[in-house]
Structure 1
Amino acid sequence: MTTTGATRWWPDGGPPRGATFDGDGVTFALWSPMAERVEVCLFDGTAERRIPLTEQLFGVWFGHVHGVGPGQRYGFRVHGPWDPWTGHRFNPAKLLVDPYARAIDGEPTDHEATFGHVIGRDDTVRDDRDSAPYVPRSVVVDTRFDWGTDPRPRVPWSDTVLYELHVRGATMRHPRIPAELRGTYAGLAHPEFLGDLVDLGVTTVELLPVHHFVSESMLRGRGLTNYWGYNTLGFFAPHADYSAVGGGGGQVAEFKAMVKALHEAGIEVVLDVVYNHTAEQNEYGPTYSFRGIHNVAYYRLDGSGRRYRDLSGTGNTLNLRNPDVVRLVLDSLRYWVEEMHVDGFRFDLAPVLTRGEGDVDMSGPFLAAVGQDPVLSKVKLIAEPWDLGSDGYQVGAFPPPWSEWNDRFRDAVREFWSGSSDGVRDLASRLSGSSDLYRRSGRRPFASINYVTAHDGFTLRDLVSYENKHNDDNGEGNRDGQDANRSWNAGVEGETDDPAVVSMRLRQARSLLTTLVLATGVPMLLAGDERGRTQAGNNNAYCQDNELSWLDWSENGEWPKLRETVRTLLRLRRDHPVFRRLQFFSGRLDPSGGRRDVGWFSPRGREMDDAAWHDSSLRTLGMFLAGERTARRAPSGEPVLDESFLLWLHGGDRAVNVTLPGTPWASAYALVLDTSETVTTHRAGAGDRLRIPPHTAVLLRAD
């Protein structure tokens, strides 16, 4: 039964939205201010019991149902006007997922009843067939969990090393993880996997979307799935298919256990979140949730309201101009921080979230709300700073304390090592933290999330093995994915047994990794790059839930040895603050030492002049990083200077002789790292010449 009177009072004028279990029963609450009637539908198998929600306050329909509890499957039916010409698409024949559901079970079935309109007619003719047999269910969840002390790592931005990771793909092929745990949250929490992360030296995993998502019918029709997960259905629910226990709400506890285990290993958890669109696509898409609850509020609509605005490339755009939609997103974010204990977020197509009527507005309601929120303003916030709108490219434009994926770093580094760069000017800017992008807004070098590979594009191995995309398995005629990859295959397209080609590709990979990890800013590694994972040249594997995308844990061949290179680089970064700068370089002379905090050198050993900076044929750059005073103290009590380093990057296809800078920079140098693994000179004096092989990075410690 359900209560009939207003027996409770909440400070904000209504109950918490969603399904709240109190030990006696569940309060169901749904925001739908334009609805004429709302029913909560309880399911026992296929049997359905409909209960009217008779209370309404400030647009929220609610009621308390005694005798139900965690594990209860439910949905909503919302009665209201069907008037697509003005944006209203209420249809009580369609079972709707709760936007605040803490868990969701089941996959949609491809059936015409899942659409609010009649397929084959235009989108204005209502379909009155019941969708309940074909759509997912919301699940009531008991949110209690024993976190213990949960030592949240809280890694400073300057010390952060991000590791972009897919929950399923990470452990599906892991030989030392039990088969029943592979591809799950529990798999990531397994000691074998955690030990590997800790040993590698990453501080923070950035998980590809874990909000409950569904695959598009187009993909299911081709026998594929939405593997990456950028097709959200529930913003509060961890994706059920990533749970070893399955559904029924157990996925929530399993996710929490994963976060707790990662924290105990000293590793933060950042979520890749998709608040720019939902899984309902455009006006011709299915009705799963938002469309049938309050279409004109949840989505950006064009003209009279019949058509959807698409700034995400998926058919719809979530409407963050509406205060209640902003509340949904903020409630979701706070839930993942406070209840699920995650440490931050990477926002997919973040400019969409800032838009007013049309243009990007960095002072708009969403960013303002996040910036003043006492919970969200204290976690890591990362923007993917572009969308598909007319002014959608916003790299460098987000306000403090946001950090951003820096695709200009990616492009400059790829172009340099592939031999297509216009000299070294842009490379130097990216190596030194991209101050041209971030200094003017008062941000620090850690505003730049540096990367050379990510889930979207080539893996590192493919970047040095393919010049063209090979996406035929996606079923789109190889038309999908980027054409401009800024890659170089060392003369042979694809995999080869030629030892000279393989050796050059490994050298290129080591050089790219060295540039990434030692550059100023926050490095982000793509999971599996350290083991030479390949996608056979597919640069858009969003629909490949198979061995093409899963991490390969075998130790065969030379590629897995890249892992030792990454371990060495991350240890160098961790041990030397000069690679983890808190401030941008000033370039000013230090009167006491007679040198700058950074020095740029041509192969002749001289500081770069205007002619060198504008030499488009230059393929060699030296970067001297002067050690700073650190918090460490010598026995005498004097501050200890961090060591100084000279990094040479040579992207040419012939060896080059470089002259090592002398006073005041250094009197001698010692070899630390050589990505060609052929340099035999381990110590050299100032003014000496060092021969650097083609496509090689060399790191020297300055004495």
Structure 2
Amino acid sequence: MTNWTITAGRADPLGATFDGEGVNFAVFSVHARRVSLCLFTPDGRIETHRIDLPERDGDVWHGYISGLRPGQCYGYRADGPYAPAEGHRFNHNKLLLDPYARRLTGHPVWHDALMGYTVGAPEADLSMDPRDSAKYMPRCVVEDPSFSWGNDRPPRTPISQSIIYEANVKGLTQNHPEVSHPGTFLALASDPMLEHLQKLGITAIELLPVQAFLNDRFLVEKGLVNFWGYQTLGFFAPDPRYLSGGDISEFQHMVARLHAAGIEVILDVVYNHTCEGNQMGPTLSFRGLDNRSYYRLTDDPRYYINDTGTGNTLNLNHPMVLRMVMDSLRYWVEVMHVDGFRFDLCATLGRRVRGGFSSSASFFDAIRQDPVLTRVKLIAEPWDIGPGGYQLGAFPPPFLEWNDKYRDGVRRFWRGDGGQISDLAERLTGSARQFDHSGRPATSSVNFLTAHDGFTLMDTVSYNQKHNEANGEGNRDGHSENFSDNMGVEGPTGDIKLNAARALRRRNMMATLLLSQGTPMMLAGDELGNSQSGNNNAYCQDNEIGWVVWKDADQDFLDFTARLVALRRAHPILRQKRFLHSRQRLVDGLGDLFWWRPDGTPMNAGDWTAPDLRVICVEMRIASGTPVYAQREEALFMVFNGGPALSVTLPEAPAGWVWRLHIDTDRPLLMPSLTPRSTVQVAAQSVRLYELERDHD
């Protein structure tokens, strides 16, 4: 056994850093009295050394061991007061993960020894458990994250040209019949997956959490697992379940392959809470290192503020916790080459000391001044369950935001709800009421019909009720109002006419998404007709329910979706940065937005509130104020008919110009064709798009 000698080292950078000759260890704790570094055998089984970090600069404990190499397994123990009533939960018997660890050997194995308190004792969390938790804990691993990137260049796709595709690494790849290493980063980097994504035409894949996360105990005891990943265990380490051989370079390889295919990588990240839960949760890392600093506590510091609904809330008002988040984000950009982030429960990140949301909170200010992070895409989930938690439209530029109003409004229109014309008009034009302020572009609205949380597109047209029985919670979990419509039969059916009607509605909804101003996001598998059998909360379904089904995929719908994506990319009118407000353009004096009745006359005030109106016709041009060089096409005319078949009068075409029909959801195989008549017949429950073109005949 080597007798390692530890020297002072340095306080920066935090984490375990290999410099070619040894490893520097640095970890933050304000209230600890002692921090011990634990070294383990290469297999991680035996603790060989326990060495106190010898130096403390401010609140950073550090030390350097010459001769240590990448691959060394390690962890920490922190000694300090176990005084829950004062917010302190130190327990030197518990092995703790380094918050900056670049790799973990696995996941915790559930046992009562993981708890800092004695399970079952009166007022249990006030007691202190003396058992060593190391047997049940994974190990941190010293990593050299350098990677031969070659000619890797981020695609840097302008947001106005972006098509986002939300996916779970395992869910997307596990069932694919042609990939090797299914369920891993390597599978996502395989030729079959890249070919599919390129054929579809997406520009960015948004991955559900891939930072190391915990399998919740209550799930494990039911034979389930945390499938989605919203219980972060380590903010720098890829989750081991997605690494085929345990090497973090597999993630970097995936990014490089996606970049070479022209596809950006956006990570769904969870900086609002950790997996340690409330006072009855385990002691795995942050709680044992400095509970009072890492978490927001109530006026009674025994308890945790729970704006997230998970038991705890990270304290981003503490500068060192905020630094950890910022260091983590920069690591994933600079070292792992990702192209952006979607922030789970982002309203929580904007809460000040007393809990109120502010668009100028320290997190947002830190992001907006950072030269690394301001060059990547930033997307907010604009809510949490705390007071005033719904903040759609309130985030500062350059943030984009998930727009649930878009999802609900479009679903309700196509379901046939009355009085939806005005709302649909807002959604088609970028939800200006929420986003047209503070210099924000129309692309600020991330439009989506479906996401991981809720029904798939197929299930939206196949189920009236959620069917979450497999989750083991008596079908009480998940949203109860999904604005869905089974169209007469709950679930799958052999009725040919009903299946055709469902296929038409899916085409209508996908066409609406890809013809709307804003930034479109689709859910992986929707283009294939994927179903989760009515489960709208598949967070724990790492099985056939949660995996995308590739066998018997709906090839017709895939082809139609790819065609819509290509059409959107070819028509700048559909993806403008400036909002359309029926204003005259300086270049030609024409308006940029017109709302028409089917008879060809302008819509009036009564039309907007008519409860039985089921059709809206819109003519769009390049927005007023757009530079002349960007005005490459004249006009698009779209009909969204949620009612019966009807006649529609096209806007008058100037001399030498004609309308060409590009999309008719009732006839998905229709090729673009000229429309010589001024009045056309539009099928019931359908979408049409016409382009104004010069008449070259």
TM-score under structure 2 length normalisation: 0.95
- Counterpart amino acid of residue 328 in structure 1: M
Alignment match, 1:100: 100
The answer to whether structure 1 residue 673 and structure 2 residue 663 are counterparts is yes
How big is the shift at 1:677? Answer: 1.6
Conservation of the 8 A alpha-carbon contact between 1:660 and 1:685: no
- 2:399 is matched with 402
Cα distance in 1 for partners of 2:408, 2:467 equals: 20
Amino acid at match of 2:510: L
Deviation at 1:595?
3.6
Supply the distance in 1 between the matched residues of 2:150 and 2:344 (Cα, whole angstroms). Answer: 32
Which of 578, 584, 587 is the aligned partner of 1:583? 578
The residue aligned with 1:648 is: 639
Match of 1:569 in 2: 564
Please tell me the residue identity of whatever aligns with 2:154: R
Task: Show the counterpart of 1:219.
Answer: 219
Measured at CA, do residues 640 and 517 of structure 1 come closer, stay the same or move farther in structure 2, by a change above 3 Å? closer
Give runs of aligned pairs for residues 142-153 of structure 1, distance below 5 A.
142-153=144-155
Amino acid in the other structure paired with 1:475: G
Q: Counterpart of 2:662 in 1: which secondary structure? A: strand
- The 3 A distance-change label for structure 1 pair 54 and 619 is same
For the aligned residue pairs, the C-alpha RMSD in angstroms reads 2.1
> Equivalent residue for 1:548?
545
| Residue in structure 2 matched with residue 423 of structure 1 by the alignment | 420
Mapping of residues 132-281 of structure 1, within 5 Å: 132-178=134-180, 181-245=181-245, 247=246, 250=247, 252-281=248-277
SS in 2 for 1:168: helix
In 2 relative to 1, CA 439–665 (structure 1 residues): closer, same or farther, beyond 3 Å?
A: farther
Give the corresponding residue for 1:684.
Answer: 675
* Distance across 2 between alignment mates of 1:574 and 1:457: 28
The residue number in structure 2 matching 1:67 is 67
Instruction: Tell me, in whole angstroms, the C-alpha distance in 2 between the residues paired with 1:395 and 1:630.
Output: 26
Decide which moves more: 691-700 or 112-121.
691-700
Task: Tell me the amino acid that sits aligned with residue 556 of structure 2.
Answer: K
Matched, 1:478 2:475: yes
- Is the Cα–Cα contact under 8 Å of residues 622 and 631 in structure 2 kept in the other structure? no
Is 1:657 aligned to 2:657, yes or no?
no
1:293 is aligned, of 282, 289, 293, to 289
**Alpha-carbon distance in 1 for matches of 2:426, 2:655:** 21
Q: Is the 8 A contact 1:385 1:394 kept in 2?
A: yes
Shift of 1:627: 5.3
What is the rounded CA distance, in whole Å, between the counterparts of 1:441 and 1:369 in structure 2?
18
Structure 2 vs 1, CA of residues 451 and 665 (structure 1 numbering), >3 Å: closer, same or farther?
farther
Identify the residue that residue 39 of structure 1 maps to in structure 2.
Answer: 36
Identity among equivalent pairs (%):
48
Select the residue among 577, 592, 598 that pairs with 2:593.
Answer: 598
Offset from partner CA, 1:345-381 (integer Å, 9 cap, x none): 0000001001011110111111001110111111111
Shift of 1:655: 1.9
* 3-state DSSP of counterpart to 1:212: coil
Deviation at 1:629, TM superposition (A): 11
Could you list the per-position Cα deviations for residues 73-129 of structure 1 after superposition, in whole angstroms to 9, with x for gaps in the alignment? 111010100000011000010000000000111221121100000001221000010
1:337 aligns to what SS in structure 2? helix
**Kept in 1: contact 2:406–2:447 (CA 8 A):** yes
Distance 1:673 1:295 in 2: 57
Measure the CA separation in 2 of the matches of 1:159 and 1:509.
Answer: 23
Gaps of at least 5 residues in structure 1 are none
Structure 1 distance, partners of 2:112, 2:68, is 32
Whether the 8 Å contact between 2:653 and 2:659 is mirrored in structure 1 is no
Following superposition, the deviation at residue 501 of structure 1 comes to: 0.5
Contact 2:585 2:623 in 1 (8 A): no
Change (3 A) 1:686 1:587: farther
Code of the residue aligned with 1:219 in structure 2: it is: L
Matched pairs, number: 684
Q: Return 224-233 or 546-555, whichever deviates more.
A: 546-555
* Rounded Cα–Cα distance in structure 1 between residues aligned with 2:424 and 2:623: 23
Once residues 686 and 616 of structure 2 are traced to their aligned partners in structure 1, the CA distance between those partners, rounded to angstroms, is 11
CA contact (8 A) 2:642 2:685 kept: yes
SS at match of 1:440: coil
- Alignment partners' CA distance in 2, 1:507 and 1:666: 34
TM-score, normalised with respect to structure 1: 0.94
3-state secondary structure, aligned to 1:308: coil
Give the drift of 1:383: 0.2
Distance 1:682 1:20, change over 3 A: closer
Are the structure 2 counterparts of residues 639 and 132 from structure 1 closer, same or farther at C-alpha, using a change threshold of 3 Å? closer
Give 1:459-470 correspondences, 5 Å limit. 459-470=456-467
1:503 aligns with 2:500: yes
Match of 1:455 among 452, 455, 474: 452
Shift of 1:596: 1.6
Distance 1:135 1:550 in 2: 28
Match of 1:489 among 486, 492, 499: 486
Please report how far the alpha carbon of residue 548 of structure 1 lies from its aligned counterpart in structure 2 after TM superposition: 1.1
**1:304: how far off?**
2.8
Identify the residue that residue 369 of structure 2 maps to in structure 1. Answer: 372
Contact 2:578 2:623 survives alignment (8 Å) = no
Q: Which moved more, 1:546-555 or 1:120-129?
A: 546-555
Q: Secondary structure at the match of 1:270?
A: strand
Could you list the runs of 4 or more consecutive aligned residues of structure 1 that deviate by over 3 angstroms after TM superposition?
Answer: 1-6, 589-595, 627-633, 638-641, 663-668, 678-687
| Matching residue's letter, 1:647 | M
Distance in 2 between residues matched to 1:665 and 1:402, nearest whole Å: 43
What secondary structure sits across from 2:126 in the alignment? coil
- Greater Cα shift, 253-262 or 56-65: 56-65
2:442: which partner in 1? 445
Call closer, same or farther: CA 1:319–1:590 in 2, change over 3 Å: closer
What residue number does 1:86 align with?
A: 86
- Gapped runs of 5+ residues in structure 2? none
How far off its partner does 1:298 sit?
A: 0.4
Which amino acid in the other structure matches residue 548 of structure 1?
Answer: I
Q: Supply the distance in 2 between the matched residues of 1:235 and 1:334 (Cα, whole angstroms).
A: 11
Cα distance 1:387–1:678, how it changes in 2: closer, same or farther (>3 A)?
A: closer
